[in-house]
Structure 1
């Protein structure tokens, strides 16, 4: 992601909203004061709560800390699929302890990423990723928490593993970026699909065709900040305050009223994450 473009202007407020997946640490938050600053900017445009998500063990520790620093923050902890080769016994023990914290509302992001192996030095191979994914599925079921999935170029493989293991009660495909066939398969299984700024990209034709197929009760919205900044700010740093841009883009694709979509996705987030 380029940092050369300035941060987007704040959107017109849209309330209530929950950012179902963000990375506060990657947005530059480091302590209680900087976390509060990010959340204050978000609250000014209607984004009242966020779920900050871990992709490694340091981020998992930070996510839990941030959720205790600020009542508007909730956490999700796991190892990202590309880092699955770091899931040794000590790391499993620590993730289990962190995931049991009452401020942790999901196990994630976990899943499969078949794009990076062979391209990224040190990336976990597909077998390592699958083993870690199965472990995270089991952890989510043991703790009774939502499973948050990262998927890149792994539609069929993810569905296979979920079928083999037996999915937890609640499954979220974060940053859903697949086509209509995958959307239908997820809907049939009762999985939630979370849409990010990619739904605003005019060249994301398959995704934009899939978005209207998802029933309202299975839709979430997210920033995945600081990544995937919505159009027309692509390439600029993303942050939770940018979420209304994505919601309005998704509403346009779905032929929905943005305010109604905001209310629906907020109710969905409250339900699947158990937010207060």
Structure 2
């Protein structure tokens, strides 16, 4: 598996892959974010492009106040293939604490979480890559608050975990994970995958699983039961091979699904069926569900 990016002209988007035989869900993307000075695609166009290749349902994640409000507005537009999630990203937490805005920001998240098409509290969690030790206590406390919000509202929880595997699992054990909890963009190893499954968590794999350097991640995928699997883009980031480095979008999910099927030694229709069922078990049904 080469790590090289496919050849694209400046501003050109990767071509659409072959459609999947059974529709699946992109369970985590950021339709409001653009990369490399490229404009974000209109939401209706992005959803149509995804549906054309068998990605007919999408979860939009807003994880700062501007994105939370944007997510609420786009859900009000009535796109039948779209559900939402809202939270305060762990990297936002130290800044909000420093300015005294955390409580007001969390209240706004809780308000938007009552929207009928918001089905997720997330992405929340811990990120020790960009936040130094001084920010860790605030991140951990905010993570606990989001866990409580998911439990009180009956929503699923999506967790961001970067360089914080042990603390994420520890806090989940201490608080008790919500019934439907997702490790978004899973980045752990085989022992962590097994520990997550024991806790009843869902593991969501992104385009990183297609990277040549990610054998450890593929090993973790290989030991994860089908009933614990989801797929995502984290668009516009983490574009799968061979387009690594280009802007990602939901229509590229089939590349990740086919790579996952190869690692799991299952046929693509079987994996698609599992991914679709798992997604609706976690988030409920979309109006245009197949």
Matches of 1:219 and 1:26 in 2, distance apart?
25
Alignment of 1:87-106 (within 5 A): 88-106=102-120
Matches of 1:219 and 1:63 in 2, distance apart?
25
- The alignment status of 1:56 with 2:96, answered yes or no, reads no
The CA deviation at 1:4 is 4.9
The CA deviation at 1:224 is 0.5
- The alignment status of 1:168 with 2:178, answered yes or no, reads yes
Q: Deviations over 1:79-123 (max 9, x none)?
A: 1111113262211111111011111011000000011124xxxx9
- Choose the corresponding residue for 1:24, options 31, 52, 62: 31
What residue number does 2:88 align with? Answer: 79
The CA deviation at 1:55 is 1.8
TM-score (norm 1): 0.93
Q: Deviations over 1:152-190 (max 9, x none)?
A: 011110111111112111110000011001000000111
What residue number does 2:131 align with? Answer: 117
The CA deviation at 1:5 is 6.7
What residue number does 1:199 align with? Answer: 209
What residue number does 1:241 align with? Answer: 251
What residue number does 2:43 align with? Answer: 35
Matches of 1:192 and 1:36 in 2, distance apart?
28
The CA deviation at 1:64 is 2.0
Aligned partners of 1:81 and 1:124 also within 8 Å = no
Q: Deviations over 1:218-255 (max 9, x none)?
A: 10000110000000100011000000000001111111
Q: Aligned pair count?
A: 268
Matches of 1:65 and 1:245 in 2, distance apart?
30
The CA deviation at 1:6 is 3.1
Gaps in structure 1 of 5+ consecutive residues: none
After the TM superposition, which parts of structure 1 deviate over 2 Å for at least 4 consecutive aligned residues? 3-6, 27-30
What residue number does 2:74 align with? Answer: 66
Matches of 1:257 and 1:61 in 2, distance apart?
40
Matches of 2:134 and 2:116 in 1, distance apart?
30
Aligned partners of 2:88 and 2:106 also within 8 Å = no
- Choose the corresponding residue for 2:194, options 170, 184, 199: 184
Matches of 2:72 and 2:267 in 1, distance apart?
34
Gaps in structure 2 of 5+ consecutive residues: 1-8
The CA deviation at 1:199 is 0.6
TM-score (norm 2): 0.89
What residue number does 2:260 align with? Answer: 250
